[in-house]
Structure 1
Amino acid sequence: MEGKLRSRLSLRLVCICAALNFVHVLGRRSEPPYMIACGASKRGADSDGRAWSPDPRFLASPAVADTVPAEAEFQDPSLPSPVPYMFARVFTAPASYRFSVPPRARLWLRLHFYPSSYSNLDPSDSYFAVGVNGFTLLNNFSASITAQALTQAYIIREFSLAPVGSGDLNITFTPSVEHGGAYAFINGIEIIQMPDIFEEAATMVGFSDQAVSVGGSSLQTLYRLNVGGQYIPPTNDSGLTRTWYDDTPYLFGAAAGVTSEADRKVKVRYPPDVPEYVAPLDVYRTARTMGPDPKVNKNYNLTWVFQIDANFTYIVRFHFCDFLLDKVNQRVFDIFVNNQTAQASADVIAWSGSKGAPVYKDFTTYVSDGPGDEQLWVALHPSVSMNPEYYDAILNGLEIFKVNDSNGNLAGPNPVPSQMLLQAEAKADKKFAPSGPSSTGQVIGGIVGGVLGFAIVVSVCLFVRYRMYEADGMTPGVGKWLPLHGSSHSRSTISGKSNASTHLSSLAAGLCRHFSLFEIKQATKNFDESRVIGVGGFGKVYKGMIDGGSTAVAIKRSNPSSEQGVDEFQTEIEMLSKLRHKHLVSLIGFCEEDGEMILVYDYMANGTLREHIYKGNKPPLSWKQRLEICIGAARGLHYLHTGAQYTIIHRDVKTTNILLDDKWVAKVSDFGLSKTGPNINQTHVSTVVKGSFGYLDPEYFRRQQLTEKSDVYSFGVVLFEVLCDRPALNPSLPKEQVSLADWARHCQRKGTLDDIIDPCIKGQITPECYKNFTETAGKCLADHGLDRPSMGDVLWTLELALQLQENPDSTSAKFVVEHEDDVQRSMAGTDGETAMSGEIHDSNLNAVFSQLVNPSGR
């Protein structure tokens, strides 16, 4: 009896232990890290000693016919280890893996591919997509083509996934339907929970007061470099198992600077505000600098070039640690991203506070689709204007991340292998070769001659360009004169005179005055820096005097290192040459000579609206002044939307593009991004997203469908800027307050909007005017364009707000407020125009709204 009892107890203990072990296994499954060797039948270790598990239990719906394990027929000698690359999971139909992950956690996902022959399948037949919880990571992806193009045996793709709300991470592999007989495969999957290294918003290049937050986005790691140092394996990386590569292959030109390593006596340690997981100390212990010769350094840029995909936003993270110098202003330099200034006068010691203290800086840039836009350039140059002790620059590490687009897509096209390019060129040569016998000697001679000819052409071009720099008093490689990607547009000059028809229609060229470069230089005293009155994405703006000094003008000169160029120049002239209105800035003429692109406008004595709110040392504007300026800008935009021959969408409405003349009349400016709106049979214009972050219509950003309501959204941000005396984006504020649009709407819903109003005007606004103005601004920021008012409605309500401000007890104003909906309906005229209803006869009201009756140009 006692023996049976012991047997039963032993059996129960065994069952309990087994159950506990099962629960333990489940518990381990519910938390990353996961390291899955797909297609493998047992656990294995890679060359770094990391353990990889088989994949069957993670398959969401394993179908034997559609997904099978396979072994590679050949092991390439360059594989780091057989695990996880020698086994693969092959899919002939869509199939998924499912992993349990912590909710609201950001994750690293690494996908490993070894394009070899599996089960007699041809690797060139493998084309597939990879999706994760609504994000497209890869589409029509060919690991075989990619490996050939990169001359690598295996491919690793790393993604930083947006937090998952459900706790389940689904990774779906789908063979491409465009390719008959296509299949998908995967060798290894890594999932690692990561800290939120993108917690802070990244400054937008070209817009120093604007920043981009990527909290809800997924990103792909494109490059991770230990600048000036060696390869860092995953086992040496702060627990995040990232790989850091040598930066040498990406350096541009022969001027590669010098590398250095921190002396053992120098303690490199993280300051309190830099987390250890940002980058390993090995990154900060090595650096690349420009060298000891200041004369050499002033004449070149330390430059890296990277291949990227167009039509995506990129985050560029710079890692700095100065372990050689210890004082402020010893080494000061400028940072350029894609030929635009990302950071002027960067001083690592000033940022970090001490020698040997790491610091990092993030910048965001959007790369549009155009010639040469498959590259991202990063450059450093000594900041000569700061007169530092050493003319030098330093960089320790660099990371580049691609941000998903508005459709949740991260996929780019497959690269083109070099041998395919050579084959295409050979076919072209054969197609156009003259008939007759050929020989190897002729072919070799042709190649050598072509190379020599190309070298001569390049040398001549470089010499001519150098002479152009000298003529303009500039040093090649200094400041803004960075290597250009080139353009599909060419400039034509004959006998020193511009050929205007190169870019402009004959009508546009005929409607504008054509200035010679000599006239422009006379007007600006040869572009004297003391004449600079502003700097924008297109270039610097100078105050000039023309016609013998009798007329003041604003002269905007294109910056050759700016990505805004020919297209914006052409659009600005063709738009403004056909538009004339009291509240649109007037274009007087242009100059296109000797490679220059220059625009000449009426001079606006009081500058931009922004500098009178928070970006300048000007006395604050009164509430009535602000309201009148908003009304003027609204009139200009309303004319664009309805008064011109075609609907014109400005696409870059912001406080820096609202200018003020000597009588404080507001004028809308900068039409370089403007687009002709949809015709009568369309609801929108499909176009690449352009504009300024903080003002961008979220619907336009998501759907890439532009309407005039996109301008209404941007103008709503302007209205809140005027009311609250703060920029559209302020990354120094708490996360929920960074975006003015989001914060203002939040406060409006909570009834606390009054708390964020500019104290200078708080007591000046009448309650009726305040209610009308804030309701209008809030409606402009509606998520969907259909829910926003038209610009005519916005103008009407702002005119009403002014009436309520000046005479809140007016009988006519009270009538309008009480019958607002009826009055707005009665104002709808034909062709988008507005007309007063005959039912309202108050003469004062008609006077107030006179501009609505006839929004004509001048």
Structure 2
Amino acid sequence: MNPIYISIIIIYTSHISNILITLAQPSSTSTPPPLSLNCGSKEGGNDADNRKWEPDNKYLVSSDKSITSTALTQEPSLSSDIPYMTARIFTGETSYKFNINSTSRYIIRLHFYPSEYPDYNVKNSFFIVTTKNPDDVSITLLRNFSAFITAEALSQAYLIKEYSLAAFNSDSITLTFKPESKSFAFVNGIELITEPELFDDQAGLVGVAESAGTIDGLTSNMQNMFRLNVGGQYIPPTNDSGGLMRSWYDDTPYIFGAGTITHIGNISVDYKDLPEATAPVDVYRTARSQGPDPNINKQSNVTWVFHVDANFTYLVRFHFCEYQLDKINQRVFEIYLNNETAFATADIIAWTGEKGVPTRKDYAVYIGDKRGKDVELWVTLHTNIDLKPEFYDILLNGLEVFKLSDSKSNLAGPNPVPSELMQKQLIANREADDAIKIKHVVSGAVGGMATIGVAFAVMFMIRRRKRVPGSDSAVSSWLPIYGHSTSKSTISGRSQCGSSLSTDAVCNCRYFSLVEIKSATNNFEESNVIGVGGFGKVYKGIIDGNMKVAIKRSNPSSEQGVNEFITEIEMLSKLRHRHLVSLIGFCEEGNEMVLVYDYMGKGTLREHLYKGNKITLTWKQRLDILVGAAKGLHYLHTGAKYTIIHRDVKTTNILCDDNWVAKVSDFGLSKTGPNLNQNHVSTVVKGSFGYLDPEYFRRQQLTEKSDVYSFGVVLFEVLCARPALNPSLPKEQVSLADFALQSARKGTLEEMVDPQLKGTIKPEAFQKFTDCSLRCLADHGLERPSMGDVLWTLEYVLKMETDDERPRNDKKSGSSSGAVEFPVQSSDMIAMHLNTLSLDSDDDDDDDDANGAGAFSQIIAPKGR
């Protein structure tokens, strides 16, 4: 072969070899995959969102000062067993070491579940967490941190601390946990995620001279304090953009005052040059603005208030996406941070050039120590009056607040202090716990004497008790709740909370002996069981010879049944209404708690909705039942002596008698509403998942609008004939409420309708019904209708369906589609204006008033209001 060819082959072979070797070596600029550690676990596993978490042991520098542990209790509010049910406990300083890309920012998330762990009292856990690179550049993330105190102050079962750290210029990073003196540290989960370039080097610093007023976000270490989907609902990590697994929360708890409107825009979002990881599409499709009155808007503002740590600079990121307007100077507003102007002429279209294009703006503010006052960050938007825009209004889609490290590379703040109300509640809880402990100690110490005393007490009670005819051996509980004296007596020794019945409740109810109850149910024969609930089984029974009754017997192993038992009697003994189940009486004897009700021959509403039931309810029958249930709830909210909040509205608690008359049942969780000086009741969250008001769940503040939300779920359950929660469905369809809201945005609500009903609902009735149902599901209670408004709408829909004066093939009724305008937008000043412009070109609607309807057209016309 020609020597020249041989030389060329050798040269090419050498080049190819070098390329292959280079490709085989790991690149220093490659992005490592996200790391999720289930600390203290030997095998890792998948969480509730099917995210994979791996064990943490191989990342420990040394494990001689750490042990693995498992939580002894599991809170119902835990989002997943993994990573929270296992923990790594540190008895001495211990570090993790991770390999990283030297040029990238990183997100570190620490998960804490301050539960009970064997041999370790989490109340005594105080520790420091720091990060460090090989060049000894360190950042303090937490100092003297107590997960227990923090979770208690925030009313949270678990905590997530998230940090965004600048590039370390190193190929590794250590994360160190150091217990305070005579204490221990722990962690349940750790996440390490590469963060794309999302920050600028020129964030404006508010309140200082413009020449010196910028913050370098690129090189700053920061902690995420708040991340809000303004005007929208919670967005879970699995729905975040860019694989960053962030959670976006509802902004409602941080709104100061009222008077705002939420929007949902069914638009296509075009990110243009903005990285998609900045925020998910759902953030830019929801927003909050002011109300419809421009005169009010000129004199008011929209403000969010956040509790923060003193002596830190905070970077506030605003997310904007205009989807109503498309011209400059149509909507212009001012942005303030703690009453300092951040930007005076915010015009989203001027920034983006067109609607449907998102943008974000960063501003920073330093917050010093305000002695004797809460340290707060106020974010305020106010319409700009001076530029005279076409619409006096504001718009915001998302909001993030980051705390920047101080000059000592410190991000740690103090442990939070519970609010005054919460402190009182915590003290009361501790006193109750202490009383129980003292009771156990005393009872143990005087066990022998107590036995003798109890024996005398039993004999005394037996002699005093009126014997049941025909049963000389029947004996009541030791302390019956239906005492004859004016004093109240506690229930059967099972209650440790001193619950008791009022004299009025006793007088209004019939007392049944246990012998009577057993006779009525044939000794609780299983063939008589007609239902099972959280309280216990429900039996069909016969009393007084031929009277059918429903007998609800408590589960003997249930410790919660005592409170529900007493609440049910107290509530129902004072209520009489056609659409409330009547309580006939009760029995409390021999460790049994039994409630006796009117018999409801048709059972629960749920029984007649889902697939496989013998009876298929027509649309009109369903509306009749809903109207009856709404009347019952409306009476509870407004017609009784006090406002009564049911707190457990669902299809299994709506019963039907033999004539299909609907009645609301199960008042075991009910609460008397707030007085005139309050707008809510602060209480522990209880209810049924799938029906639970999200605002009540977040804030523990109960109002009658919580019942309205639950009833909104019932409305969709009746329309769609599917459960409120169905885990077997695709993830986005599991929650009926969430799926309904998503379908409304997409205009696909008609696809959710029960196949048995398709073609039987008038389009205008469907529009009115779904509009009301969606308003019931509004995230903010103030935006939901009252139960009276819901009742009026349902009666109106029922009238529309039974009124045959308007033919079904009318050209206007036939024009309706599954696209339902989101209800809140109907009162939006801008939406009303734009709708008016589009209606002006529609000649078909010009004859609405030709029939003399005049001012009453909203009542007469099937389209309603």
Shorter-chain TM-score: what band? Answer: 0.3 to 0.5
Relative to the length of structure 1, the TM-score reads: 0.46
Relative to the length of structure 2, the TM-score reads: 0.45
